[in-house]
Amino acid sequence: MNIIVRKIGNSEGVILPREMLDRLNVRAGDTLIAAENAGELRLRRLESDREAFENKMKIARERMKKYEVAYRALAK
């Protein structure tokens, strides 16, 4: 897929196809991290604070369930 660098106001940028954005779960307002490596440009979506919190809570719930007996014993 070829993407052209375009003039956008006083800057330059690229416009990514909707299909690509949908596959990568990227929306307007998301923050992307750009990294250059060996002549390649890579973009990665930065987790939002909400997503990071939800992921941490998921891990916490899994741990609480796994160690429920130990936590109950320690709570006495």
Q: Which of 22-26, 49-53, 56-60 has the lowest mean pLDDT?
A: 49-53
pLDDT of residue 29: 84
Beta strands 11-13 and 6-8: pairing type? Answer: antiparallel
By the 8 A CB rule, do 47 and 55 touch? yes
- Calpha distance 33→11 (Å, rounded): 18
Q: Domain residue spans in the chain?
A: 1-45, 47-76
pLDDT tens-digit map of 25-54? 888 888 899 999 999 999 988 877 777 788
Mean pLDDT along residues 1-20 = 92
Owner of token pair 């307007």: 28
Mean pLDDT along residues 57-63 = 94
By the 8 A CB rule, do 6 and 17 touch? no
By the 8 A CB rule, do 33 and 49 touch? no
Q: What is the pTM of this model?
A: 0.53
1 or 61: which leads in pLDDT: 61
Question: What does CATH list as the number for 1-45?
Answer: 2.10.260.10
